[in-house]
Amino acid sequence: MDAAAGSALGWLCAGVSTFLGLQALCRARSSRRGRARALLWSLLPAGLCAGALGAAGALALLAAVCLLRALCGDSDLLPVRDRAVLITGTDTGIGHALAKYLDSLGFVVFAGVLNKDGPGAEELRRSCSQRLSVLQLDVTSTTQVKEAYLTVSEKVQNAGLWGVVNNAGILGFPADGELLPMSTYRHCMEVNFFGAVEVSKTFLPLLRRSQGRLVNMSSMAGGIPLPRYAAYGASKAALSMFSGVMRQELSKWGIKVMAIHPSGFRTGIEGTAEQWDQHEKELMENLPADTRQAYGEEYLLGLRNYLLHLPSHCAPDLSPVLAAVLHALLARSPQGLYTPGRGAYVPLCIFCCFPLWFYDFFISKMLSAGSVPRQLRTSGDEGKNL
């Protein structure tokens, strides 16, 4: 790169950084914290323009500015007032906790549940305010989605719906992608992707009235490849891509779209022992004989151990996820992507910035490999396949 091109690139980076600084200054208002943050954004372009950085240094500093801005976020939140929000999948886990949390803050919450007579729905009715409404909402049922829309539309009237949080999701049975039956792939896509798409498309007219927010609960597995999550990760990756495209397309209507990529949290999404038995039986019944022989009974039966130990590796405190959703709903300038959870952004950064072989090596060391398939344990085969 010649000197003229390097200088032009440096000034381009300086211009972008200056724009970020001006944005921060406009939002600073009179708070001491806001003024300090605005001063930070204003000093960075000055350092960038010092002339000694060169093109590479300018790009590096611009990346640092963007990273700092993403980490600091926008602390200027809109008032709650009586904003109405629909949340799917509130029977348990993140959705259940989020419905309670937003209700406690004063939101009008429409809590979609898979079973309106189940313990999760009863707990919401018992512990939340009269503002919260429990809706029967299986996101894979077009009829229930339309009925929910009519109920919500009647209650919000011309005010519209401020937010839709597509939280409903299933994990399935974590196993090697070769082992998973096609029904698992289809079920994950039906709930995690198609269900979220149908809910979004159905409720967008209400979001358009309020120029509101669409929040899609994806996963860390939707942004980076993780072993044993072929079906779940593929469905969440589809949801993340859908979020990105909708963010671009709906901006002209004043609707903001965000994706949440939490790291491991203890939500109960792994299911119950009875569900594991059903998934395991289905998996074993659909395996071709040569595949069963290659992996071996010990490896196949060991897949359940992963589920048994999964909760111990997950954080029990859901507050980082709840805070991320609240910021997505109320921030004047929300982030397009949130990665709540300790270190959730680290694998994503490694995946985006490093060679794939390094990412694969990193993931293999970070995640326990577990047992080895029978065929790879025989002499000579393991080294041949590495």
Residue 175 sits in the same domain as residue 319? yes
Q: Is residue 381 situated within a structural domain?
A: no
Residue 97 sits in the same domain as residue 42? no
- Quickly state the pLDDT bin for 155 (edges 50, 70, 90): very high
Q: Is residue 277 situated within a structural domain?
A: yes
Q: What is the per-residue pLDDT for 267?
A: 62
Residue 60 sits in the same domain as residue 134? no
Residue 67 sits in the same domain as residue 177? no
Q: Dihedral angle at the C-alpha atoms of 377, 378, 379, 381, nearest 10 degrees? A: -80
Query: 279 or 380: which carries more pLDDT confidence?
Result: 279
The residue type of 109 is V
The alpha helices in 142-259, defined as continuous H runs, are 142-156, 182-188, 196-210, 230-250
Question: Running DSSP on this structure, what letter comes out for residue 131?
Answer: T
Query: 242 or 74: which carries more pLDDT confidence?
Result: 242
d(CA 347, CA 214): 25
Residue 174 sits in the same domain as residue 281? yes
Q: List, by residue number, the catalytic residues.
A: 232
Strand-pair category, 163-166 with 256-260: unpaired
- Quickly state the pLDDT bin for 239 (edges 50, 70, 90): very high
- Quickly state the pLDDT bin for 321 (edges 50, 70, 90): very high
Q: Is residue 192 situated within a structural domain?
A: yes
Contact 266, 311 (CB under 8 A): yes
Query: Domain containing 184 — which CATH number?
Result: 3.40.50.720
Average pLDDT on 150-170 reads 95
Q: What is the per-residue pLDDT for 10?
A: 55
Q: Which of 134-138, 158-162, 201-205, 307-311 has the lowest mean pLDDT?
A: 307-311
Return the structure tokens found at 249. Answer: 């397309």
Range picked from 162-171, 221-230, 256-265 for highest mean pLDDT: 162-171
Q: Which of 32-36, 121-125, 312-316 has the lowest mean pLDDT?
A: 32-36
Residue 280 has pLDDT above 80, yes or no: no
Average pLDDT on 312-340 reads 89
Q: Is residue 298 situated within a structural domain?
A: no
Q: What is the per-residue pLDDT for 299?
A: 81
Residue 89 sits in the same domain as residue 68? no
Residue 88 sits in the same domain as residue 63? no
Q: What is the per-residue pLDDT for 28?
A: 45
Question: Running DSSP on this structure, what letter comes out for residue 79?
Answer: P
Q: Is residue 347 situated within a structural domain?
A: yes
Rounded to 5°, angle at Cα 188 from 224 and 95: 85
Contact 95, 123 (CB under 8 A): no
Residue 324 has pLDDT above 60, yes or no: yes
Residue 325 sits in the same domain as residue 184? yes
SS (H, E, C) 183-214: HHHHHHHHHHHHHHHHHHHHHHHHHHHHCCEE
Residue 239 sits in the same domain as residue 171? yes
Rounded to 5°, angle at Cα 269 from 267 and 273: 115
At 70-127, the pLDDT tens digits run 555 556 899 998 899 999 999 999 999 999 999 999 999 999 999 999 999 999 999 9
Q: Please indicate, yes or no, whether the overall pTM of this predicted structure exceeds 0.75.
A: yes
d(CA 171, CA 147): 26
Residue 333 has pLDDT above 70, yes or no: yes
Residue 379 has pLDDT above 70, yes or no: no
Q: What is the per-residue pLDDT for 129?
A: 96
Beta strands in the chain (DSSP E): 84-87, 108-113, 133-136, 163-166, 213-217, 256-260, 337-338
d(CA 68, CA 12): 19
d(CA 376, CA 385): 8
At 178-231, the pLDDT tens digits run 999 999 999 999 999 999 999 999 999 999 999 999 999 998 888 889 888 999
Residues ≥6 apart with Cβ < 8 Å to 308 = none
Q: What is the per-residue pLDDT for 281?
A: 76
Angle between helices 32-48 and 3-28 (to 10 degrees): 170
- Quickly state the pLDDT bin for 29 (edges 50, 70, 90): very low
Residue 147 sits in the same domain as residue 44? no
Residue 318 has pLDDT above 80, yes or no: yes
Contact 152, 123 (CB under 8 A): no
Q: Which domain covers residue 55, as residue numbers? A: 3-72
Residue 28 sits in the same domain as residue 145? no
Range picked from 275-279, 323-327, 362-366 for highest mean pLDDT: 323-327
What percent of the chain stands above pLDDT 70? 71
The residue type of 280 is E
Q: Is residue 365 situated within a structural domain?
A: no
- Quickly state the pLDDT bin for 26 (edges 50, 70, 90): very low
Please state the domain count of the chain.
Answer: 2
Q: What is the per-residue pLDDT for 366?
A: 74
Q: Is residue 369 situated within a structural domain?
A: no
Rounded to the nearest integer, the mean pLDDT of the chain is 81
Residue 21 has pLDDT above 60, yes or no: no
